[in-house]
A and B are shown apart, each in its own frame.
Chain A
């Protein structure tokens, strides 16, 4: 069918024109304006992140002397120089040697999976012991105040009826800093895993 513009009436030409213009506007909005707005959003986010990073770095730099001083005061035991297995073994040996007391018996020691958090690792051990309360307290106190950096995460003390002793189950965690680990890498390993 031959189609010429001359045969189309004025109203149709106008409608076609308006339709074409609307399509062009939609195309412009979707193909040009919308991607441009997306680019703007990306740029804005980048700028905000940049400012946040800069602020964080400035804040870090401002406390540099204090951090250096604190770091210098940390003992050798704060840093991890061996593999996870060796570190855990040494720690458990130490715990066992501390637990050798006449009125206290170490019932159980169970190392938990090692958690790597940024620039440090957390070694958890669950212990259970039975003995007189003062000996247990002495044991826990000596364990948490040695060269290792340790904390007590949970405990449960139960009196054993008729013997004047208590049964204590507790969980301690040791922090070891990683002096040369890759920046910002978070890894989760277990005691059995490779470093």
Chain B
């Protein structure tokens, strides 16, 4: 069964703290879970809800929303205690531990291991801080989470109902002194009021006996609550306004000190049918309140989800990531292997083709290749056969009178070395530029030139190096 309604609601933004624009709120009752998705950005507010008794149905419903949307579980007052605790001012990171110690000291031993969350409230005592502490049994919360998981809801936060109802009470549009949330289907109502120090007072009144029969005790309890709040209020504030969510019942109080106001939320008809409307309304109102009145930081500090559950989830995530990583790695290797095999197959077919082509021209091609190699050798030999002629011709042409050579050397790398004599020291310096003009020589370098005594006179000796070009 899946029902959908849309509603618009004006939301007041508080600029100092970011609020979740989208939330999913679950409320488990017996074998079914009510799930409401509220999106405050959608045309002023769109609520979509369903009542599910099967895991598959819930998962199917939740799949239509963003994966990152927070899933909250609304914890009814019957499953947690609310205490006001005052402690000396401590560092923010130490608050939880301090409150836990304080709570454990005040709880009876048979209560078991508690899980706590808190909300700071106004404190007029210097050097102290006051907190509204929500206390629940760890074992009960684990059971609660498991029950929700079995119904397909993996909740991120467990939020005490007081937080949601406080949001509605603080809404200036309603101007309420007290709020009554009647969960008729579950057979209880929650009566909420906010004290002068911002502390929330919340009480559960059962409208059914343990055997499921209707009792009148709840009306008496309700009357007692109203009397109490009337007694605490000043006469100027009369008549007091009592807000009502759910089906209204008779309030046995006479006089005009109290007026009733039914909280009209525009998504009242979220669930089709009268029966479902009653069942889903309180969750819908809570979703609206948590989205529009509670900041993300508040939702974090009032979260009652036990650490053991978070640890288990973390372990599960790590395990899943490791296994997933290994699977991906294995798949990648397998893919690489397959790609490799495909590439080998491609190369094989290319090689077959090229071998066929090579085979067709191999005999002729290789024969010609051998002949080309032979012709190359012949060309190399023939290119040097006139080297002496060219060398001497170029030397004869370039050498000015007054210079003679005593030694000429040509090595296998075509490097030339000349050694000679000149009549004057100036002549060897003239020689390189004259040799450079010849096309047979390149890179002419005068290595040294100097005068030596010989036969009673002096003679200039020089050495020149250059390269003999192929002509």
Contact = CB atoms under 8 A, between A and B. Distances in A.
Contacts of B383: 151
Contacts of A50: 350-351, 354-355, 358
Interface string A75-96: 0001000000000000000000
B406 A119 contact: no
Contact of A57 (B333, B340, B369, B384): B369
A43 B388 contact: no
A157 B357 CA distance: 55
Given A50-B355, A151-B382, A57 B375 contact: no
Contact of B406 (A74, A153, A158): A158
B409 A60 contact: no
A37 interface: yes
Given A44-B347, A51-B354, A53-B358, A120 B409 contact: no
B388 A57 contact: no
B387 A152 contact: yes
Interface string A45-87: 0110011011011101101100110110010001000000000
Given A44-B347, A159-B407, A25 B333 contact: yes
Interface in A25-54: 25, 28-29, 32-33, 36-37, 39-40, 43-44, 46-47, 50-51, 53-54
Contacts of B369: 56-57, 60
B368 A60 contact: yes
B406 A58 contact: no
Contacts of A173: 381
Contact of A67 (B330, B348, B368, B381): B368
Contacts of B340: 33, 36-37, 39-40
For A24, A61, A157, A183, the residue with the greatest tally of chain B CB atoms inside 10 Å of its CB is A157
B372 interface: yes
B378 A74 contact: yes
A interface residue count range (under 10 / 10 to 19 / 20 to 34 / 35 or more): 35 or more
Contact of A25 (B329, B371, B409, B412): B329
B401 to A, nearest CB: 17
Interface stretch (A1-9, A98-106, A137-145): A137-145
A97 interface: no
A3 to B, nearest CB: 23
B370 A119 contact: yes
Interface in B365-397: 365-366, 368-375, 377-378, 380-389, 392
Contacts of A57: 358, 361-362, 364-366, 369
Given A36-B337, A141-B388, A156-B407, A61 B361 contact: yes
Contacts, number: 173
Interface in A163-195: 170-171, 173-175, 177, 183
Nearest to B318: A14
Mostly, the A contact residues are helix
Interface in B317-368: 319, 322-323, 326, 329-330, 333, 336-337, 340-341, 343-344, 347-348, 350-351, 354-355, 357-358, 361-362, 364-366, 368
B358 A54 contact: yes
A191 B384 CA distance: 24
Mostly, the B contact residues are helix
A47 B347 contact: yes
Given A54-B357, A156-B409, A157-B407, A119 B374 contact: yes
A33 B372 contact: no
B411 interface: yes
Given A22-B326, A50-B355, A183-B370, A40 B347 contact: yes
Given A54-B357, A64-B364, A141-B386, 20 more contacts: A25-B326, A25-B333, A28-B330, A40-B347, A46-B351, A47-B350, A47-B351, A50-B350, A50-B355, A53-B358, A71-B375, A119-B371, A144-B385, A151-B381, A152-B387, A152-B388, A154-B409, A157-B409, A175-B380, A183-B370
Interface of B: 319, 322-323, 326, 329-330, 333, 336-337, 340-341, 343-344, 347-348, 350-351, 354-355, 357-358, 361-362, 364-366, 368-375, 377-378, 380-389, 392, 404-412
28 contacts: A18-B322, A24-B330, A36-B337, A43-B347, A44-B347, A46-B351, A50-B354, A50-B355, A54-B357, A56-B365, A57-B366, A58-B365, A60-B364, A61-B365, A67-B368, A71-B375, A118-B373, A119-B374, A137-B388, A140-B389, A145-B385, A149-B382, A151-B380, A151-B382, A151-B384, A155-B387, A156-B410, A159-B406
